[in-house]
Structure 1
Amino acid sequence: MAGGFTIGRYVFVSYLLVILAALLFITGLTSNTVGRLYSEHILKSLEAQAGLAREMLLAEPELAEDPDGARALCDRIHRATGTRVSLVLPSGAVIADTDRPAETLDNHADRGEIRDALALGGGKSERFSATLRQNMIYKALAVPGPPEAPRAVVRLAMPVTEARAALGRVRLIVLAAGGLASLLAVAVSMAVSRFISRPLNEMKAGMQRYARGDFSSPIRLARPVEIASLCEAMNGMAEQLDDRIRTIIKDRNQQEAVLSSMVEGVIAVDNQGRIVSHNDAAVRLTGIPFGAAPGALLRDVASGTPLHQFVAQILDSARPRESEFGSLSQGGRILQVHGSVLRDARGQGMGAVVVLNDVTRLRRLEQVRRDFVANVSHELRTPITSIKGFVETLLDGALDDPADARHFLEIVAKQSDRLNAILGDLLTLSRIEEGEEKASIELEVAPVRDTLENAVQLCAKKAAAKEIELVLDCGAETRARINPSLLEQAVSNLIDNAVKYSPSGSRVLVAAAAGRDGVAVRVEDRGCGIAAEHVPRLFERFYRVDKARSRSLGGTGLGLAIVKHVVTAHGGRVSVESVPGAGSTFSIHLPPP
């Protein structure tokens, strides 16, 4: 937390407070002890000096009655000790004093030290001296005399100020020593706090690197042992965390790679319907921008769509569901949707996942297959029914009439030819489709004119019968990568249709030209033309613009389907331009060689 106390500060302050408290206690205790000892020393010194003065008086007992001699003795002791010396008689009268004339002094019988000395042989006191106007320390000793009473009392005194000055000097020394010790304690506590804080700061820096995802530089600390052990544990934890993060990132990248490469759309939501994951295929298939607002609710981005209702049903029922959206009749996309409940490790529902499959092509193929089966059945039923009917007529007796029998047999032969043509075109179409799937159709770079000439020759007889002129416009240098036999069949189918639907005496143009995008082969007629609504389905199997006219002209309904598959096998495309009543132009576009 910013601005808080660090461990180093706590250690520093704690050490400092403890050391200062100890120093204060020691200083106070030392000061009191030294003061007491010094006072005892002063008293002992005064007692020793007083004892010396008493011995001198015992050596000269007559001085107790000689004021001048007593004064001289007191002065001599004063000069030797520097103390105030007084000689007091048992009556309390002062006969000699070094600081004041004896006759000016009051009777000292009431002084405590004098009373104790007279009564006990010695006394001491500390009190204010009215004579000297200051506090004094007194020590008094009785000078023995006759057995019945002391001869005199010798008293030595020292000003308290001198004792206190001496004691102050002692205390100053103690305080100075304590101050130095405090400074040393501050330095030591700072050193200890830094010693503790430095590895902790290094650990902090290392943990900040770990928090940023940088596990390349482990924390290296050799001491203290406890912190070094903690660093080793943290480094081990960081290695495990790094491994787990790498594993999670790897799994996430693999998951994203799998989802992004899937052609199926995947959408995952939580229990509240909030989008938690999706892939690009889901956006492409549904057209819903799931990623426009991260964490958005599905009902907000897909409101009113079948998908939202589908997911809501899964979340409500907690059971898998399957459905399909879309319709081929509207030319739209058909999506097969599978949904199931997402569960956590404890089996509790945590949302739903939906997988979208684009089955448009499959459903279209199924529709084409159904239409194909129906169309084939219908196309085959007509000649078979005709053949069966005329055969039954022949068996019923028409065979006995040569004229009718021949007519019926010609019809049977014609329908058989029609049935054979349908089967032949179906087999041709099947072989072409098989070649497309296996990529086994062999292509070669060859002149296009030769193939077009062969196709024109195949249709020349039918064109001549209708007095239709076939015109070929193709340079000998025009070349393309083709399968000559297949391209010949495709072009001949287009020419055959042009001849069928063109009026007598008209012209059909077969042209080819090379361009930047390849070679374009064009079959142009001046026939009845094709209405625009029929053009999209023109190349489907068995699709006829005019069914009655097509059958009367001998068409199988597979010619243009064969053209489309042949062109597709060449890697090209086929197109048609038509104006009803003015004619049609079919174009085959082949890629450059």
Structure 2
Amino acid sequence: MNKKRIFWHFSLYLLITLLALAASTLFSSQMIRSFYEERTRQDLKARAVLVDNQILPLFAENRWPELHALCRQLGRKSATRFTVIDKDGRVAADSDENPARLDNHGRRPEVVNALAGETGTSIRFSYTLQENLMYVAIPLRTPDQTIIGSLRLAVPITAIDQALAAIQRKIALGAFLLALLVAAITLFISRRLSRPLHDMVTGADRFAAGDFSREIPLAGPSEMVELAGALNRMARDLDKQIQTAISQRNKLEAIFDAMIEGILTIDRHERITALNGAACRLLETTVERQAIGRTILEVVRNSAFKGFIQEALQTDEPLERELNLAHSQLGDRAIQAHSVQIQDQEHPQILLVLHDVTRLKELENLRRDFVANVSHELRTPITAIQGFVETLLDGALEDPQHRRQFMEIIAKQSSRLKAIIEDLLTLSRIEEERRAIATKPEPLATVLAAALDVCRPRAAEKEISLHLNCPADLMATINAPLLELAVVNLVDNAIKYSGTASVDVRAAAENDRISITIADQGEGIAPAHQHRIFERFYRVDRARSRKQGGTGLGLAIAKHIVLSHHGDISLLSSPGHGTTFTIILPADRQ
């Protein structure tokens, strides 16, 4: 016990000595540095004031070549760097560098103070000159005291650094010799204690590295035994806590990355501190591209988004706002942004949750258009029926000729109303059964022939011939009634908009798919309408479509039937050259 106290006694003296030397070195260095810096600052300020009256006229009159030459002359004579900066931070002249190669100095602290009407001072490393410099800037004022820029002077401060380095080397040498002396005295005393201490250090290193598999041996004086036991208990507790923390962290990271909402945290300087994969996708960034640590404006160049973040940082209340973000691959995205303050006094941040509501907006627009179209399509026959019924009730019922005419119109409009409702029900049923339609291998020629048989009476009325070209042995895994309905709708559409010509239906196997084409020789479809032709109730010519008796749902039904077969449908058309619809189905794999 006595040797242990002597060991700590000498160690304490060594520590006090080293601390005193360190404090003395620090104090002396600071005093020398402060004195030299203050003297240099006053000297630079005096120089700036002396040349102010020479620089101001040239600067005020925009005489840049003369101003630049004057700065170079002053710099050579005084071994000082002279820089003239306008009120926007642009370098107008510099004694050492071409002003055009220098970046904007408007945010340099000494320039900010000078433009505010004060004398600005700053010490920092110059990447241009590759050494530490002291900068002093004064405002350039016109006779009416208007600040039009600043004059900045700079000189190297390597002399003080060299002097301080020499002092520190001497003190370090003295400390080293003193440490050797004390170490020699305590070496013999500490020899008996070295083994337990070594074991504890080794064990502590293992614990620090996360290895808790072996405990520290309990050996040496009782105090060291107690210390080793305490370290072992601490290691066991730390192991439990670390395992718990790792488990919780893994769960949180899994939840964080699996969320479809974009999550990111932003500090008070508008820098991103964390974000998940969904946020990376929405903002078109990655952690690898160092999104973390960058300002939000560097990642997302959107003024509305930046304004929302600034507002969220300035309030303790949760905020919610809808924003539009441009996306290079997905197009414009509608984002519902929610923000909440993270309660942390030392590092205040906000948590931002981004919901991509683009699809919801699109569905809402589709729903609105669908309701409007349905209302419009139903209103036309209902209005006609109501009008002729009222006419009959007003007296036309007694006129046999008009009565029959009106009743035929009512019957025609009723049939149209029924057709619209049946097509709506068919479309709804197809959408509901889209993922679970029953399919089986069927001869495709039989299905296509049945579809053409349905359309032949109407084709005969318009003197249109229907042609089928399909191999008899071509099999496809399909729902025959649904595919027949899709082909009927496409052929019927071709008949409606073709003159006296023909409609050709062809089917063929191509690699791992089957193609079905329905080609007419009609008037064709303009490119402006092609991307919307499969929408519900969309018509290129509404008046003509109603005259032809269509409901506006045939092509939409055909599209959903093809999609339910995991296929695709497209069209190729140009005005005056007819239209070709192409259905692509997966080939039969059985």
* TM-score, normalisation: structure 1: 0.65
Tell me which residue corresponds to 1:341.
341
* Pair 1:524-2:522 in alignment: no
Task: Return the offset for 1:192.
Answer: 5.4
Q: Which residue of 2 aligns with 1:268?
A: 265
Q: Distance in 1 between matches of 2:228 and 2:583?
A: 78
Question: Are 1:9 and 1:193, in contact at CA under 8 Å, matched by a contact in 2?
Answer: no
Question: Which residue of the partner structure matches residue 483 of structure 1?
Answer: 479
The answer to whether the Cα contact below 8 Å between 2:283 and 2:300 also exists between their aligned partners in 1 is no
Among 569, 573, 583, the alignment partner of 2:568 is 573
Deviations 1:5-49 (A, max 9, x none): xx999749979xxxxxxxxxxxxxxxxxxxxxxxxxxxxxxxxxx
* SS of structure 1 residue aligned to 2:427: helix
Distance 1:494 1:188, change over 3 A: closer
Distance 2:262 2:223 in 1: 55
Counterpart code for 2:470: C
Letter of the 1:567 counterpart: V
Where does 1:235-254 land on structure 2 (aligned, <5 Å)? 235-254=232-251
* 1:405 and 2:415 matched: no
> Is 1:515 paired with 2:513?
no
CA distance in 1, matches of 2:544, 2:241: 75
Alignment pair present for 1:471 and 2:467: yes
Q: What is the match of residue 175 of structure 1? A: none
Q: Which whole-Å deviations, capped at 9, do the CAs of 1:189-246 have from their partners, x for residues lacking one? A: 9775322111112211222222223222321133322211101101111222222222
Task: Decide which of 559, 564, 572 is 1:564's aligned counterpart.
Answer: 559
Q: CA deviation at 1:300?
A: 3.0
1:302-317 paired onto structure 2 within 5 Å? 302-317=300-315
Please say if residues 283 and 299 of structure 2, whose CA atoms lie closer than 8 Å, have aligned partners that are also in contact.
no
Of structures 1 and 2, the larger Rg is shown by: 1
- Do structure 1's residue 211 and structure 2's residue 193 form an aligned pair? no
CA distance in 2, matches of 1:14, 1:337: 64
Deviations 1:394-430 (A, max 9, x none): 1112222211111111111111111110001001111
For 2:530, the equivalent position in structure 1 comes to: 535
| 8 Å CA contact 2:265, 2:273 repeated in 1 | yes
Shift of 1:188: 13
Q: Equivalent of 2:318, from 312, 317, 320?
A: 320
Query: Are 2:382 and 1:387 equivalent residues in the alignment?
Result: no
Contact 1:334 1:359 in 2 (8 A): yes
Aligned in 2, Cα 1:408/1:331: closer, same or farther, shift over 3 Å? Answer: farther
State the match for 2:226 in structure 1: 229
Cα distance in 1 for residues equivalent to 2:404 and 2:10: 131
The verdict on how the C-alpha distance between 1:533 and 1:12 changes in structure 2, with shifts beyond 3 A counting, is: closer
How far did residue 440 of structure 1 move? 3.2
In the alignment, the residues of structure 1 paired with residue 428 and residue 224 of structure 2 have an alpha-carbon distance, to the nearest angstrom, of 81
Letter in 1 for 2:377: E
- Is 1:12–1:192's contact at 8 Å kept on the other side of the alignment? no
Matched to 1:231, the amino acid is A
Residue in 2 that maps onto 1:501 = 497
Q: Letter of the aligned partner of 1:523 in structure 2? A: I
| Partner in structure 2 of residue 102 of structure 1 | none
Q: How does 1:291-302 map to 2 (within 5 A)?
A: 292-293=289-290, 294-302=292-300
Cα separation, 1, equivalents of 2:341 and 2:208: 35
Aligned residues of 1:319 and 1:340 also touching (Cα < 8 A): yes
**Aligned match of 1:440:** 436
**Map 1:278-293 → 2, pairs under 5 A:** 278-289=275-286, 292-293=289-290
In structure 2, distance between residues paired with 1:198 and 1:394: 117
Letter in 2 for 1:298: I
User: What is the aligned counterpart of 1:358 among 356, 364, 383?
Assistant: 356
**Residue aligning to 1:18:** none
Q: Which residue of 2 aligns with 1:121?
A: none
Whole-Å Cα distance in 2 between the matches of residues 451 and 335 of structure 1?
Answer: 46
Deviations 1:500-525 (A, max 9, x none): 11111x11111111122311111011
1:362 deviates by 1.4
**Paired positions, count:** 410
Give me the whole-angstrom Cα distance separating, in 1, the residues matched to 2:496 and 2:224: 100
8 Å CA contact 1:268, 1:352 repeated in 2: yes
The DSSP-based 3-state class of the residue aligned with 1:370 is helix
Structure 2: unaligned runs, 5 residues or longer: 12-183
Amino acid in the other structure paired with 1:308: K
| C-alpha spacing 1:448/1:327, structure 2 compared with 1 (3 Å) | farther
Cα distance in 1, alignment partners of residues 381 and 423 from structure 2: 15
Change (3 A) 1:461 1:431: same
CA distance in 1 between partners of 2:448 and 2:240 (Å): 70
Whichever residue aligns with residue 480 of structure 1, its letter is A
Name structure 1 gaps, 5 residues minimum: 1-6, 16-186
Partner of residue 451 from structure 2, selected from 446, 455, 463: 455
RMSD: 2.6
Q: Structure 2: how far apart are the matches of 1:325 and 1:12? A: 66
TM-superposed CA distance for 1:384, in Å, is 0.5
* Equivalent-residue separation in structure 1 for 2:560 and 2:325 (angstroms): 26
Instruction: Please tell me whether the aligned partners of residues 302 and 325 of structure 2 are also in contact (alpha carbons under 8 angstroms).
Output: no
Is the alpha carbon distance of 1:584 and 1:14 closer, same or farther for their aligned partners in structure 2, counting shifts above 3 Å? closer
User: Are the counterparts in 2 of residues 542 and 558 from structure 1 also a CA contact under 8 Å?
Assistant: yes
Question: Percent identity at matched positions?
Answer: 49
| C-alpha distance in 2 between matches for 1:502 and 1:538 | 17
CA distance in 2, matches of 1:385, 1:491: 32
